[in-house]
A and B are shown apart, each in its own frame.
Chain A
Amino acid sequence: MKKAFDITLRLLLVAIAISVAATSVYSQEMNKEEWQKQITDLTTKRNDLKNKLTAAQSEVAALQKQDADKATALKLCQDELAQTMKANSAADESAFASSVDNPDAKLNDLSKLSNQDLYARRAELDSVQAWIDNAKKSPFSAVEKYANRLKDVQGRLDALRKSLEQSIASGQAMQTYTVGTWAKDRDCLWNIAKKPKIYDNAFLWPKIWQGNRDQIKNADVIHPGQKLKIPPKAELTKQEKSALRSYWDKKQVAAAPTK
């Protein structure tokens, strides 16, 4: 009897152990309540998201319309601007745009020169200024991007001019002239000053003389190959006039008959 009870008891203990273990395993999986809760939560979330999606789709549609309207307005404006340009300008926009590159390149080139070389090519600064003045007559010059470029070109040109003026004032920049032969070029200070590219005024020859005292001892004697500095064209200074007077005095003394 006792043995039978023990066996029954042990079987029951084993059964309980199995049952508890089974409960434990089962509890890790979902039960119906949890399923129901998840279904409810997800359904709520889905409905919220659907509302959000609908709102986002409406916003996108509104933005697409706004984008299309802006594109139409932009096209209209651009067409009107192009028509205005066409009616008032001989050149088209691309021609004008590429023409701005020329003075730009010219200024780049000139800005790399020494003061001396810049002085020699100063006429090119005038040609850039003439281009700017002409470009300003075109309606394209009023378009901001071109107006800014022209402003930039003008600014760079002014800076170069200022730098050139400063170097002229300080005597750093002067045109030079290489003396040729008398036989071929008829070069003397008088004739050199008379050349259109020099002073176009023979009476300014003392400027060249006084500007080159280091290599011209006698104003009547210059040699082929001499590289003369040409001071900027201006009226003769007091010193140059004085040198001229003493030149003529010496000439007169030399010409006077010897006793």
Chain B
Amino acid sequence: MKKSIGLMVVGAAFVAMSATGCKSAPSAEELKQLDDLKAEVSSIEKEINARQTEKAALQRAIAEKDSRLQQCLKDKEAVQQHIKGMM
């Protein structure tokens, strides 16, 4: 009885130790590679956000210029008609 208990304990110890031994940790170099990749992703995300902001600002500027251009063309036409009418 005592012998069997002893065997069970030894078996359990073996299983526990072998389970621990199966999982190897990444090396410091690999961890640095992971950190670098994370930093690169974060940097690209920031750059995309900056481009989106720039895009929105450009779209507003274009819309504003377009509105002024349409007004200018309208005024030009009206002035030409006015001059014709005054002649």
Contacts and interface: CB of A to CB of B under 8 A. Distances in A.
A85 B83 CA distance: 10
A197 interface: no
B76 A81 contact: yes
Interface residues of B, number: 52
A19 B52 CA distance: 53
A162 interface: no
A235 interface: no
Interface string B5-39: 11001101100110110011110001101100110
Given A49-B45, A49-B48, A70 B34 contact: no
A87 B82 CA distance: 13
User: Interface majority SS on B: helix, strand, loop or mixed?
Assistant: helix
Interface residues of A, number: 55
Contacts of A53: 44, 47-48, 51
Given A50-B44, A74-B69, A81-B72, A8 B58 contact: no
Contacts of A144: 71, 74-75, 78
A142 B84 CA distance: 12
Contacts of B82: 139, 141-142
A53 B38 CA distance: 16
A52 B58 contact: no
Contact of A139 (B19, B34, B66, B79): B79
Given A42-B41, A60-B58, 16 more contacts: A16-B12, A19-B13, A27-B23, A29-B25, A38-B34, A45-B41, A46-B41, A50-B44, A56-B52, A60-B51, A60-B54, A67-B61, A67-B62, A71-B65, A139-B83, A142-B82
The 10 closest A-B pairs by CB, nearest first: A142-B82, A56-B51, A63-B58, A70-B65, A35-B26, A77-B72, A142-B78, A49-B44, A42-B37, A31-B23
